[in-house]
Amino acid sequence: MLLIATTLLSTLTVVAQAEVREYPGGKELPHQKYIHMVSEKDSPIEQTYIKSKDGLYVAAAIRKPAKGNGPFPVLIHFHGAPGGRGMEQITGWARGDHGSPVFGTFLQKGYVIVIADYRATNMATLADGLPANAVTYVDDALAVLEHVRKLPYVNPDRITVYGVSLGGDVTMHLLIRTKVHKAILGAGAPISFLAAKGKPGATGADRFKDLTVPQAGKDRVAKVETPVLIQVGTADSLIGLDRALYDELKAAGKPVRLEIYENGYHDFVMGPQGQPNRAEPLLDITLKAMENSLEWVK
């Protein structure tokens, strides 16, 4: 009887830690009011270069809330591919040049925002895993995190890491090196983390449909201790990859939530980012995902 009760309790605990939520939407909204939400006079942008493991300096743009001295909670953001965007690009995002609502809103809510770069990687061999004993974008991410943890105005126990697209792969690898308060994957692409090889010849959403995660990916999942929120849109060809990540985290008993947004394109969570040759409208579900992200990190 005791064994049955213990097993039931364990099952209920896992259920409480993992859930899937679905949201309708996809309506386009005007984005102009989200351009330059916070004045640089009130919250200057600190352009910082952080030394990585091998001596490479990684660009990061940091902004503090306009009021108070801290210690503040923090949102560290790792953008999508490619790495090596440079200081000009990430400063534009931190300033809010294009109308993405995420960074300005977190700043207004009292968060330090850190938009960090990372080195480029070979996308063609990403599913083969990161080279053994090599210095990679994971080391860059760890260097950024350790730098931020030591800032005098930061609460080191309230750091959230937010990875979009390839930044989601960076984030998941970081989470097996260290633990943070919370993590968010927006339209994540944890290809290397899961050692995920798509179906040969398949394209679009079929590439990762019903993905079987190899043991190497399962072993990495087992090391994650940080609660993870995964947000993905139904129009994102990587939705199968994010479902697989959720399933593996859930099976391992990790605290995880998967949120699926109707008509969400890849990177819809950020909205307009000013990237060339890409349609990046602000959607109603962009705002809903941001609202859910704020709730998640509390």
> pLDDT tens for residues 238-278?
999 999 999 999 999 999 999 999 999 999 999 999 888 88
Joined tokens for residue 133: 């004993």
- Burial of 192 by CB count in 10 Å (0-12 exposed, 13-18 middle, 19+ buried)? buried
Please give the single-letter amino acid code of residue 117.
D
pLDDT at 198: 77
Tell me the C-alpha to C-alpha distance, in Å, between residue 233 and each of 66, 112, 116, 192: 33, 27, 24, 21
- Domains of the chain (ranges plus CATH)? 26-297 (3.40.50.1820)
Helices marked H in 98-196 — which ranges? 102-108, 137-149, 166-174, 191-194
Give dist(CA 58, CA 79) in Å, integer.
13
Range list of β-strands (E), the chain? 18-23, 28-29, 45-51, 57-63, 72-78, 112-116, 154-164, 182-186, 228-233, 256-261, 282-283
Residue 1 has pLDDT above 70, yes or no: no
pLDDT in tens, 28-70: 999 999 999 999 999 999 999 999 999 999 999 999 999 999 8
Give alpha helix (H) positions in 39-190.
87-95, 102-108, 137-149, 166-174
Residues 81-95 have pLDDT tens digits of 988 899 999 999 999
- Mean of per-residue pLDDT scores for the chain: 91
Q: Are 298 and 292 in contact (CB under 8 A)?
A: no
Give the pLDDT score at 209: 83
Say what the alpha-carbon torsion angle 12, 228, 268, 198 is, to the nearest 10 degrees: -90
Of the pLDDT bands very low, low, confident and very high (cuts 50, 70, 90), residue 125 is: confident
